[in-house]
Structure 1
């Protein structure tokens, strides 16, 4: 590969995002399945929307990684081994609905930070096409954080 177009740090960070986007979908599904409460009918379909977005982002990240001569993680074992997100079994009634939303805020803040890291790495390696992709994902996760913290009657920056 031409040294000018070799992006080793970008490839590594994209693979990190593959693992994290897969795990965040699992965590959102968990909330989707185990939520109870007065806001159930409002929040339950929102979890589907979140996961559709994450699935699209995962596909785009993996395809970009392949186009950069990378090999995306593709097994459950790889995802769990490499994600920085929790993989915790929960049960009905273990968390209130606001507590489940707070857990998602924490997941989304972690993912936001991984997107920011990707932006910085792609800047360092001068990979603007990948950076363009990630910029949109970062903007979207910022909005999700704002929406969930508004539900929790918090500022998007509280608790950090």
Structure 2
């Protein structure tokens, strides 16, 4: 069977992107404080981008004869992004720090996808992983800039 490791990374991304959408949604709902007026609508953009990534990743998995996770149980059982109850007592900076941490995890997973798809000769998946890693690193840079920090992107 072709592309077995690539399929595993793609499916891990399906679970993790679904969880990341929830994390961003939680940020969107529970944010308060300075920056709310610009950050609240920005979270809608982040969710749209994550939904697009999930769709492309899932469709690629199907195209190479894989089967993407497609139930809430599968997403919950397979994600590696932590789940936590929404809280009103987090500052905006704390919420953005959580997003940075989780986006860093996704960037690392995209890198793993780049490595395994290259090894398995799947140029199309490699291209998808590379593009989404670039997009994710841009998100990290922007969030870090909002926090007054350097991007700290490991290239």
TM-score bracket, shorter-length normalisation: over 0.9
Which position in structure 2 is the counterpart of 1:31?
A: 27
Q: How does 1:139-150 map to 2 (within 5 A)?
A: 139-150=134-145
Following superposition, the deviation at residue 134 of structure 1 comes to: 1.2
Which position in structure 2 is the counterpart of 1:124?
A: 119
Which position in structure 2 is the counterpart of 1:19?
A: 15
- What is the number of residues matched between the two proteins? 153
Give distance in 2, aligned partners of 1:102 and 1:128.
33
Superposition misfits of 4+ residues, deviation over 2 angstroms: none
**SS of the residue 1:13 aligns to:** helix
Structure 2: state its 5+ residue gaps.
none
Structure 1 residue 59 corresponds to structure 2 residue 88: no
Which position in structure 2 is the counterpart of 1:87?
A: 83
Moved more, 78-87 or 25-34: 78-87
Q: Deviations over 1:70-106 (max 9, x none)?
A: 000001111111111011102212x101000000000
Q: Deviations over 1:42-66 (max 9, x none)?
A: 1001100001000011001000000
Following superposition, the deviation at residue 125 of structure 1 comes to: 0.3
Which position in structure 2 is the counterpart of 1:42?
A: 38
Which position in structure 2 is the counterpart of 1:68?
A: 64
**SS of the residue 2:140 aligns to:** helix
Q: How does 1:2-17 map to 2 (within 5 A)?
A: 6-17=2-13
Which position in structure 1 is the counterpart of 2:96?
A: 101
TM-score, normalised by the number of residues in structure 1: 0.93
